[in-house]
């Protein structure tokens, strides 16, 4: 896969279908901010997202739903260069 041009913007993962930070947040009459939180649960659809990735010497963009149709193992971990 060809390298994607890399600027200096701080690229990050983004959940698809969730309101983006630039969009006005829905506010109810009493002034409290209503935030729509997607929460992963077993038996429910996995929240879709895209994210920049490192993959075998290149940079790539990954969208989870592009890989639906296969079994997927999604592993979060605290950080690179940690010890466990």
Partner 1 sequence: MSAVADKYQELQDLGVEVFSVSVDSHFVHKMWNDHELSKMVEGGIPFHMLSDQAGNIGRAYGVYVEAQGIELRGRFIIDPDGVIQAMEVLTPPVGRRIAESIRQVQAFQVVRASGGAEATPAGWMPGDPVLKPGPGLVGNVWKEWKPNE
Q: Interface with partner 1 by CB under 8 A: which residues?
A: 10-15, 18, 37-49, 51-56, 59-60, 62, 64-65, 67-82, 84
Q: Give me the least distance between CB of 28 and partner 1, in Å please.
A: 21
Residue (27 or 55) nearer to partner 1, CB: 55
Q: Give me the least distance between CB of 29 and partner 1, in Å please.
A: 26
> Which residues partner with 38 through β-bridges?
none
Count CA atoms within 13 Å of residue 3 on its CB side.
6
Please give the Cα distance from 65 to 68 (Å, whole number): 5
């Amino acid at each position: 896969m060809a390298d994607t041009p890399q600027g200096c913007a701080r690229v990050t993962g983004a959940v698809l279908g969730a309101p983006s930070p630039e969009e006005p947040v829905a506010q109810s009459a009493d002034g409290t901010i209503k935030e729509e939180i997607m929460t992963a649960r077993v038996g429910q659809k996995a929240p879709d997202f895209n994210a920049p990735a490192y993959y075998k010497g290149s940079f790539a963009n990954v969208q989870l739903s592009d890989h639906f149709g296969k079994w997927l193992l999604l592993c979060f971990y605290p950080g690179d260069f940690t010890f466990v």
